[in-house]
Structure 1
């Protein structure tokens, strides 16, 4: 059976996820943190496919959710409330009341949310999300910066939120932070971790420090990985110092999403047209912004291959399936000679793919399939 014929049973566009790759990514991350009292909270917003979530649960993972709908989803999958962390913004009293009743760990984003929660309950423990103010230089390939962000509570407001909590006999038991997305260099993460650790030392009832994530995935190389070991040791050292200072075990939490599921997913699309331009060709495929929004939303890079063909020589733009002039999956790619009905493979598509699909403009959304291994197909 030829390589192309292996895929003829799938209707394109289709996301395909690999259990083996998902497991390998999770275990690599887990092994990189030499700290016993640790939780990996998979960020559900990256990929909320039920099969993916079931695999995360089988691997012993916890989850980070950002909405009440995500909370209901992970409960249906079977995650215990002790394995759920909830971080969002702009929560009203009804949402806070619901979350209090659910008993999941909260990280609040503002003084106003702290005030509302403390009006609703007493003797309750919650975490806060910190606004990152340190001037941390990020690599050019990051996709979402903290610069000028209004997310989180500022360091100068720590005393105020502590006082509000104390008046309601509540405790601030955790500190949460997030720097940016797709960070490829360890230095910004280390500086961020140092700042977050200093912030965490301000809270006498501290039980956990949540470093968020942002660990990057390299575009053009399938074998190159973020240096998890360096960050794992650094975050562990910060948390160990806090444990020593407070004379109790402080829990280390991280919220990786894309670094777990990106390379565990590929997106297959069919070539529908080839247009000759002045100095290159434009390939149209049957998926675009409505099925895979990440390239246009973040100007993000994704490795593209042609199924069954190697040794690129032709100059192409890979055009997405909308009339939006800026909707491209990739520009200026050198690929093998492409023909209509060929299948292109878009790599690192397991995160922020189907979860963001809208079907715009009136197109069929991609299907999703979970398999054991990409080796069964590629």
Structure 2
């Protein structure tokens, strides 16, 4: 995808708001949303629920709500942010894991859709709220995703109710009278082989046939976006053609048309994001040339946590001769953004742009080393808006209670 934001504009924004800085282009978010809608346009009962754990900035949520998206949440706090952003309760799905029944009760209070992913909570919930229909998250025992850390549908995963536990689940439903309104599946992120996705859908359809009053089938997400040139990405056309055919076949045999739900997160917002950092120092050792920047895994942990690849460009010197650099941060840890990368010559004071920074970047940031979290800016209708200010020492100390020692 061609960058709608030019290097000159990125540099201007870096100078205007300072670095490190997150920038989100709403035009790309809209293009991705429309792309998914078009791919599944022949499904009348399609509903897209944005998986907001990818990026929970209130303004990103408001923008997606205006586009017509629903909201997929995994914490009660995300539910509350979603309501504040303008989503109606029925357009919010709450799919937590390993939370207490107290948090589930709060979701009932807000009136949102709930997906339950373990038998203990299902039994407790059914005993107290037999008239509140819920969805069930199924673990299909499929190893899918970019790596083990982001694969969530395998047999050793904490997520979902094993499809081998369906008989036990049915007994709980019979004993409590609880009604099931849908089934949910999510096998992981960055799924490069869509056969895994299709395999999981077959399992959901098979389970769903035994439950006559369903309202939806929720296939989660995991759609892969491109992180570098010639990178593998999900072929939406192939996937949608296959899924639509099987979905329509299921509805025909099921005897009614149910809603097809998808929950893209990274797919919608990843490519919209740019992360600007300033080069503090060029440090040459006996074997490596380091470009040390004014950020670290306190702001951008994915390369260190998931070994995720993010493109890095020197926007201050795009025409410089290419050299090899290891781009590292200023945290007292081994925080490497990119190892041995071919980048146009980097000088101290240059601004580097790290790509695909719209998903799971700011949302996973911290104050490690007592560093401030950065600002966020959104480009909307060609104008830039500050949507989160940079933190300061007051923010670091706000919740600390000082005692006399």
Shorter chain as normaliser: what TM range? over 0.9
- Describe the superposition over 1:58-99 as per-residue Cα deviations: whole angstroms up to 9, x where unpaired: 110000011111111100111011111110112323222222
Kindly report which structure 2 residues correspond to 1:167-182, keeping only aligned pairs within 5 A, or say none.
167-182=175-190
Query: Counterpart of 1:144?
Result: 150
Which of 118, 123, 126 is the matching residue for 1:110? Answer: 118
| Mapped contact 1:142–1:182 kept (Cα < 8 A) | no
Distance change (3 Å), C-alpha of 1:131 and 1:5: closer
Distance 2:85 2:380 in 1: 20
Match of 2:88 in 1: 80
Q: After superposition, where does 1:92-241 map in structure 2 within 5 Å?
A: 92-134=100-142, 136=143, 138=144, 144-146=150-152, 147=154, 148-221=156-229, 225-241=233-249
Distance 1:347 1:229, change over 3 A: same
Instruction: Give the corresponding residue for 1:357.
Output: 365
The equivalent position to 1:27 in structure 2, one of 30, 34, 44, is 34
Cα 1:66–1:14 change in 2 (3 A) is same
Structure 1 counterpart of 2:261: 253
Runs of 4+ deviating beyond 3 Å: 4-7, 138-143, 222-225, 373-376
- For 1:234 and 1:194, the matched residues in 2 are separated by 12
Aligned to 1:322: 331
C-alpha spacing 1:289/1:374, structure 2 compared with 1 (3 Å): farther
Match of 1:18 in 2: 25
Q: Secondary structure at the residue paired with 2:370? A: coil
SS across alignment from 1:124: coil
Mark the CA change 1:2 to 1:155 in structure 2 (over 3 Å): closer, same or farther. Answer: closer
Task: Using the TM superposition, give the Cα deviation of residue 145 of structure 1 relative to its aligned residue in structure 2, in angstroms.
Answer: 1.6
Asked whether the 8 Å contact 2:275–2:353 carries over to 1, the reply is: yes
SS at match of 2:274: strand
Instruction: Answer with 53-62 or 270-279: which moved more.
Output: 270-279
Report deviation, 1:185: 2.9
Deviation at 1:158, TM superposition (A): 1.3
More off after superposition, 287-296 vs 233-242: 233-242
Q: What CA RMSD, in Å, does the superposition of the two structures yield over aligned residues?
A: 2.2
- Distance in 2 separating the partners of 1:302 and 1:122: 47
Deviations 1:26-70 (A, max 9, x none): 111111113110111101100001111111011100000111111
- The total of aligned residue pairs comes to 373
Change beyond 3 A, Cα 1:7–1:102: closer
2:61 to 53, 56, 59: 53
For CA contacts below 8 A with separation 6 or more, give which structure has more relative contact order: 1
- Aligned to 2:224, what secondary structure does the other structure show? coil
**What is the CA–CA distance in structure 2 between the aligned matches of 1:46 and 1:290, rounded to whole Å?**
16
Give unpaired runs (5+ residues) of structure 2: 1-5, 385-405
Unmatched segments (≥5 aa) in structure 1: none
Counterpart CA distance in 2 for 1:273 and 1:18 is 29
Distance 1:39 1:140 in 2: 25
Separation in 1, partners of 2:351, 2:381: 19
Distance in 2, matches of 1:142 and 1:344, equals 30
TM-score (norm 2): 0.87
CA displacement at 1:223 relative to structure 2: 9.2
